Structure 1
Amino acid sequence: MTHPLTPSPAARPAAVPIPDGEQPLITVKHLTKAYRGRPALADLNLRLPAGRIIGLMGSNGSGKTTLLKILAGLLAEYDGQVNIAGHAPGPQSKALVAFLPDADFLDPRVKAEQAIAMFARLFPDFDADRARELVEFFGLPQDRSLKEMSKGMGEKLRVSLIMARRARVYLLDEPISGVDPAARDVILNGVLQGFDPDALMIISTHLIADVEPIVDSVVFLKDGRLLLAGDADDLRQAHGMSLDALFRKEYR
């Protein structure tokens, strides 16, 4: 049995499967957010279950980053309701959410071990040994500061830190944007290393072909509205094409 999303009037019927008897880990109802009168999200409704990797897909300006920032508790001025594991965005929800923004958040002078020590002080759920395992998995240099690393190396360090938290929800905003194709594959493999199957991960991206092999469900946003959502395999079967081809068709 699937539970329907409540789509915006312009959206088509869509659903993200939720197992019988389970409650969604994230619920969004009539979420609307505007910047200087221009809508970034418009009457968005979502119900997202645990135990899933969800691709949040859309072109630039579709509202992906705004949605993730609201879920992460970084944007408080909005209309509608947001619930994360029974909590509105705030201190209690933030303790459950690990957020990887699309912008640098580390001092460029820090080295990998210094960054790990900093996160260990900041987050009670941070697993320093897990972070070191990911740093080793990515082959990151221990003797270089962030500013001495390549863009791909820097992104791998940030992923190592975020994925070393024992969070219930992981929000990754364009984690593979701006790095070469080989680095994208390595980063995505690192994201999956030891990922808790009972957690929820939302990966925001416009690089659909790269994330298609790892996502269980997808949410397509367009102009701040829900365009399409559902189980990845169901959408491929229903439309007779890959998610990448479906994305190109819907956003051309």
Structure 2
Amino acid sequence: MDSLLQLNGINKKYGSKHALKNVTMEIKPGKIVGLLGSNGSGKSTLMKIVAGLVQPTSGVVSIVGLPVGQRSKGVVSFMPDRPLTEPWMKVRDALSFYQDFYEDFDITKAREMLQFMKLNEVDRVGILSKGMSERLQLTLALSRAASLYLLDEPIGGVDPVARGKILDAIVEYYNEDSSVIISTHLVRDIERIFDEVIFIRNGEVVMQEDVENMRIKNGKSVDDMFKEVFAE
């Protein structure tokens, strides 16, 4: 099966600081992938490079065979760690905004997801709880017909009930011909949905492994492996 995402020798420097160091990896279609690392490990930088929002210092990224650029942005749906919506918007305004902005936005799917997420179209974005806001951002991101979904810390700061709803929605609504990369440091709460995990530390990929293989080979959960790899 062809690669959906390929990164070859990606480096990113900010002045003298290396945010990413020689990152090389590939992701196939049909995978939910955990991009796991502590805060400051390079997860968000890597996401932004794949999304085409940040340029690498060196190296090459391709998505469905396209170099990262204007065309690749059409096949990538990025949910950043900060909302793209405005507080004055109502939920339905946010849907209209995305529908106007993205040709591949599926308004029917979005409304179906709102019901699943227990969100009301007339509610104002500014009064939503943290968990409800995360559910709205996820609805917007997953309602695009993208090849690659990038979800940056989608369960950060939300309560366990909201986390469960968000994880259920990712599994239920992502397109199985596509792949999802989820960056997080909350491994135990989310590992049940991962097919594959990538551990990133100090800007370097230290492990990329199929989750079932990891459990069979090491007899450990992803969370246990994460703690072992990232122990100081």
Residue 81 of structure 2: SS of its match in structure 1?
coil
Match of 1:189 in 2: 168
Partner of 2:107: 128
1:206-217 matched pairs, under 5 angstroms: 206-217=185-196
Aligned to 1:95: 74
Q: Which residue of the other structure, out of 215, 221, 229, is the alignment partner of 1:236?
A: 215
Give the equivalent residue in structure 1 for 2:153.
174
The equivalent residue for 1:225 is 204
Q: Show the counterpart of 2:134.
A: 155
Report SS of the residue matched to 1:172: strand
> Cα RMSD over matched residues?
0.9
Which position in structure 1 is the counterpart of 2:55? 76
> Which residue of 39, 43, 53 maps to 2:22?
43
| Mapped contact 2:9–2:23 kept (Cα < 8 A) | yes
Runs (5+) with no aligned partner, structure 2: none
Work out the CA distance in 1 between the residues paired with 2:120 and 2:34: 30
1:245 is aligned to 2:224:
yes
Question: Per-residue deviation at 1:43?
Answer: 0.5
What SS class does the counterpart of residue 212 from structure 1 fall into?
helix
CA distance in 2, matches of 1:219, 1:165: 25
SS of aligned partner of 1:228 = strand
One-letter identity of the residue aligned with 2:155: I
| Residue equivalent to 1:59 | 38
Q: Which amino acid aligns with 2:5?
A: I
Alpha-carbon shift at residue 87 of structure 1 (Å): 1.1
Give the match's secondary structure for 1:198. Answer: coil
Q: CA contact under 8 A between 2:92 and 2:122: conserved in structure 1?
A: no
How far has the Cα of 1:194 moved from its partner?
2.8
Q: Give, in whole Å, the separation in 1 of the partners of 2:114 and 2:139.
A: 6
Q: SS at 1:171's partner residue?
A: strand
Corresponding letter in the other structure for 2:39: N
Question: What is the CA distance between 1:77 and its match in structure 2?
Answer: 4.2
Q: Given the alignment, which residue of 86, 104, 118 partners 2:97? A: 118
Alignment-mate amino acid for residue 158 of structure 2: V
Normalising by structure 2, what TM-score? 0.97
2:119 to 140, 162, 179: 140
Write out the 4+ residue segments of structure 1 that deviate beyond 4 Å after TM superposition: none
Q: Distance in 2 between matches of 1:39 and 1:76?
A: 14
Deviation at 1:88, TM superposition (A): 1.1
Aligned-partner Cα distance in 1 for 2:11–2:160: 35
Give the partner amino acid of 2:108.
D
Q: Which residue of 2 aligns with 1:11?
A: none
How many angstroms does 1:142 deviate by?
Answer: 2.7
The CA distance in 1 between the partners of 2:144 and 2:153, in whole Å, is: 19
Residues 60-103 of structure 1 deviation map (CA, whole Å, 9 limit, x = unaligned)? 11111000000000012421111111111111100000000001
Identity of aligned residues (%): 39
Structure 1 residue 210: deviation in Å?
1.6
In the alignment, is the contact (CA less than 8 A) between 2:31 and 2:180 conserved in 1? yes
Q: CA deviation at 1:37?
A: 1.5
* Greater helix share, structure number: 2
SS at 1:144 equivalent? coil
**Alpha-carbon distance, 1:111 to partner:** 1.0
2:78, 2:151 within 8 Å by CA — same for their partners in 1?
Answer: yes
**TM-score by structure 1 length?**
0.90
